[in-house]
Amino acid sequence: MKEVRVSVRNLVEYVYKSGSIDQKFHTTSSMTEGTRLHKKIQKNYKEGDRAEEFLSTVLPFDDLSFIVEGRCDGLIFEEEDVIIEEIKSTRSSLGDLAEDSYPVHWAQGKFYAYIYAKDHNLQEISVKLTYIHVETEEMIHYLQRFTLNQLEDFASKTIEVYYPFAELLTTHKEKRNESAAALPFPFPEYRKGQRHLAGAVYKTIKEKKTLFANAPTGTGKTISTIFPSVKVLAEESIDKIYYLTAKTITRTTAEEAFEMLEQKGLAAKTLTITAKDKACLKEEGLCQSGSCPFAEGYYDKINEAVMDIIRNETRMTRQIIEQYGRKHRVCPFEFSIDLSYIADAVICDYNYIFDPRVSLKRLSDSQKKRTVLLTDEAHNLVDRGRAMFSAELEKSSFLELKRSYKEKNKELYAVSHEINRFFISLRKQYEETGMEVYKEAFPELLELLERFIGSAETELAGQSGESTLLETYFAAHNFIKISSLYNENYVTYIDSGKRETIIRLFCLNPSELLSRTSKSFSSAVFFSATLSPFQYYFELLGGEHEDYRFKIPSPFPKENSQVFLKPLSTRYRDRERSIQPLVSLPQELMKQRPGNYLYFFPSYRYMNEVYEAFMKSDPDADVLIQSAGMTEDEREAFLQAFHADRESPLIGFAVLGGIFSEGIDLKGDRLNGVIVVGVGLPQLGPEREIIKDHFK
């Protein structure tokens, strides 16, 4: 019989979770809080009782053998009874939690009770469901007693409902492994250095190591990392691939690589996760029942939607997920998150793995140990890591809440008033300098924020959700979460201007946190064409002594490229004088070497000044210009305009460090040259100075 391994929690959530998406506010506590409260209850167990008891059983059904396992929160021995305790921490009012509020919680306890009773030949056993409030630590208990026959019937029916889903995935996995084993490299031959890169990735994944690879543009990094990863999938050393990107454009390249492998015979399920604001089918409103038809009854409809898309699709892109989301009336974003735990390969932004606020929480440690991370354009992850592990609060939010709730909610008014006063005292201290840096996270502020969160939740529980309160609630939550990571790699800085005062917990060196995350997976590959200076990125991405390092030269002959320097000051005081030379430069270049060009500037303002002068000089020129906040369709149209058989050459004005400055793939004569104005360094500012001082 074929084996299917599943955790008790995943099994019962698939079968028994019901109801609607409700994201007015978080009703459940964080994992850290949950663990603390679990331990608090478990400490009171008497001698002989057990906490976090591992339980496992084998249940055959049809042609599958289900290995169901997990750790029950508590195993309590009374004189005439054995009790399985299931503990749930919550921020909801305990008065709102009736005995039958969450059938899925009972199901989890009952399945553990079934395993223990069967293993120890008990004819009866009890299940205790305990809810504990995060702030007050008050508890409410519910107790039910079951016979072994009742639990056997319950377990059998649970497996019966889960079986079609498990059978579908098991059959698919066999096809995937067979096709991956037979899969040829999708090109007639490897480019120079490409086979070495693919070999290094394969070796890294097989040995469960970490690799840092500097591979220049033209190496074919995407296929050179995906292809060997798929080959390891066939050998069942790993179960899943996460391809992580910083930008939508590089996501498209990964999608195209998997499509190419599918055309060569690969039978794999690939998924692209699209950001929530882009995936949403509603123009406005909260993700909750009563406000969104795609959130209403989501958990009652999702299993059917998952089965439908898995049966019929291989590449689950944004368009495909939206199509099935409309068909089954389920939220496309939440749908994609649920599918991410099933798909063989997931293409998504860095934050779904590294950001503590939005990372995929249901990925268990055992699943991570069978998952490989492929991190594209990894040089971007340093600054992105700093942003992910930082948090900030604005004074104006608490001032607004203080005014709004003065008559409506005394407790919320009082704590908002105290936090606002805390900001005022800081601002008075730094009126002259406007800025100050600390090496502590202000514990007195954290205490106030804990009070604020409790008051905000009470208010939000009875409302549809006032936007400022909701946004400030999430900001406070994040501030407290990030404060738990605070160490010598952090500073707290106060930025006090005339209109706003901001307190920021700023992560200067994200290496430890990035490493902690990546090392929890089976293997990780960080690769980029610009992982240079190499030692800098190696250290700040969390590289360690035993990690592999890899570097290959460009596959293109040096004589194929020409570099020209135009001595011209681009300093601010010389801007006006530089505009006319910058107008004539591309005109001269395109006369000598006709073709399509990209023209990069250090800022939008500078770009627009040159663009306006350029169009006055040559109004018939074929020109495109990047604008701030371009949609994905607009970005795609911008790039599609660059093709080799144009009647007149095209010049695209763009911004350095922006969406078109890296990760785009304009092959052959689609792009013939690039003009770069300025040095392309990050703008100077207080944060850069703080970082510089830290590393000094």
- 31 vs 3: which has the higher pLDDT: 3
Q: Within a 10 A sphere around the Cβ of 13, how many other Cβ atoms?
A: 15
pLDDT at position 197: 96
**C-alpha separations of 141 from 134, 178, 221, 544 in Å:** 15, 50, 55, 47
- 530 vs 261: which has the higher pLDDT: 261
| pLDDT at residue 539 tops 80 | yes
| pLDDT at residue 589 tops 80 | yes
**C-alpha separations of 595 from 273, 408, 586, 650 in Å:** 36, 66, 11, 7
State the DSSP H helix or E strand holding residue 170, giving kind and residue range, or none if neither.
helix 148-182
Q: Which of 357, 376, 503, 328 is nearest to 430 (CA)?
A: 503
**C-alpha separations of 517 from 243, 341, 370, 505, 581 in Å:** 15, 18, 14, 20, 49
Strands 50-61 and 64-77, by their bridges, are antiparallel
| pLDDT at residue 320 tops 80 | yes
> Who contacts 40 (Cβ-Cβ below 8 Å, separation ≥6)?
132, 137
pLDDT at position 57: 97
* Cα-to-chain-centroid distance, residue 296: 25
592 - beta bridge partners?
A: none
**C-alpha separations of 294 from 27, 219, 308, 436, 564 in Å:** 20, 43, 17, 46, 55
pLDDT at position 285: 54
**Interatomic CA distance for residues 275 and 373, integer angstroms:** 19
pLDDT at position 381: 96
pLDDT at position 26: 42
Query: Can you read off the two tokens belonging to residue 78?
Result: 């009374």
| pLDDT at residue 378 tops 90 | yes
| pLDDT at residue 554 tops 90 | no
Average pLDDT over residues 132-149: 91
- 313 vs 464: which has the higher pLDDT: 313
| pLDDT at residue 47 tops 50 | yes
| pLDDT at residue 25 tops 60 | no
- 36 vs 239: which has the higher pLDDT: 239
pLDDT at position 336: 95
Q: Which of 374, 394, 282, 283 is nearest to 329 (CA)?
A: 282
| pLDDT at residue 667 tops 60 | yes
Q: Which residue has the tokens 């509020």?
A: 101
- DSSP, collapsed to helix, strand or coil, labels residue 299 as helix
Q: Which of the 8 DSSP states describes residue 288?
A: B
Residue 149 gets the label, from left (phi > 0), alpha (psi -120 to 50) or beta, of alpha
> Who contacts 249 (Cβ-Cβ below 8 Å, separation ≥6)?
635, 639, 659, 660, 663, 664
Q: Which of 21, 16, 314, 58 is nearest to 162 (CA)?
A: 16
User: For the chain, what percent of residues have pLDDT higher than 70?
Assistant: 96
Band the pLDDT of 23: cuts 50, 70, 90: low
pLDDT at position 289: 59
State the DSSP H helix or E strand holding residue 82, giving kind and residue range, or none if neither.
strand 82-90
End-to-end CA distance of the chain: 62
Average pLDDT over residues 146-155: 97
Q: What is the mean pLDDT of the chain?
A: 91
55 - beta bridge partners?
A: 70
Average pLDDT over residues 644-657: 91
Strands 124-133 and 82-90, by their bridges, are parallel
Q: Is 36 exposed, middle or buried (0-12, 13-18, 19+ CB in 10 A)?
A: middle
439-461 in b/e form (b: 16+ CB < 10 A) is eebbeebeebbebbbbbbbebbe
Please write the tens of the pLDDT for every residue from 640-650. Answer: 999 988 888 99
| pLDDT at residue 28 tops 60 | no
Band the pLDDT of 448: cuts 50, 70, 90: very high
pLDDT at position 176: 96
Query: Can you read off the two tokens belonging to residue 266?
Result: 């690969």
CATH class, range 562-676: alpha beta
Strands 391-394 and 345-349, by their bridges, are unpaired
**Interatomic CA distance for residues 261 and 250, integer angstroms:** 17
pTM for the model: 0.89
Q: Confirm whether 391-507 and 562-676 share one CATH topology.
A: no
User: For the chain, what percent of residues have pLDDT higher than 90?
Assistant: 68
* Cα-to-chain-centroid distance, residue 428: 38
**Interatomic CA distance for residues 29 and 484, integer angstroms:** 14
Q: Is the peptide bond before 533 cis (omega within 30 degrees of 0)?
A: yes
Residue 157 gets the label, from left (phi > 0), alpha (psi -120 to 50) or beta, of alpha
Q: Which of 126, 102, 139 is nearest to 12 (CA)?
A: 102
Average pLDDT over residues 479-486: 93
DSSP string, 1-26: -EEEEEEHHHHHHHHH--S--B-SS-
pLDDT at position 398: 96
Q: What is the CATH number of domain 391-507?
A: 1.10.275.40
| pLDDT at residue 308 tops 60 | yes
pLDDT at position 463: 59
**Interatomic CA distance for residues 519 and 532, integer angstroms:** 22
Q: What is the CATH number of domain 2-165?
A: 3.90.320.10
Q: What is the CATH number of domain 179-385+517-551?
A: 3.40.50.300
pLDDT at position 33: 64
- DSSP, collapsed to helix, strand or coil, labels residue 669 as helix
Average pLDDT over residues 395-405: 94
pLDDT at position 24: 47
Q: Within a 10 A sphere around the Cβ of 570, how many other Cβ atoms?
A: 14
By the 8 A CB rule, do 531 and 379 touch? yes
pLDDT at position 30: 53
* Cα-to-chain-centroid distance, residue 595: 39
Please write the tens of the pLDDT for every residue from 517-526. Answer: 999 999 999 9
Residue 300 gets the label, from left (phi > 0), alpha (psi -120 to 50) or beta, of alpha
Beta strands in 589-630 (DSSP E): 597-601, 622-625
**Domain boundaries in the chain?**
2-165, 179-385+517-551, 391-507, 562-676
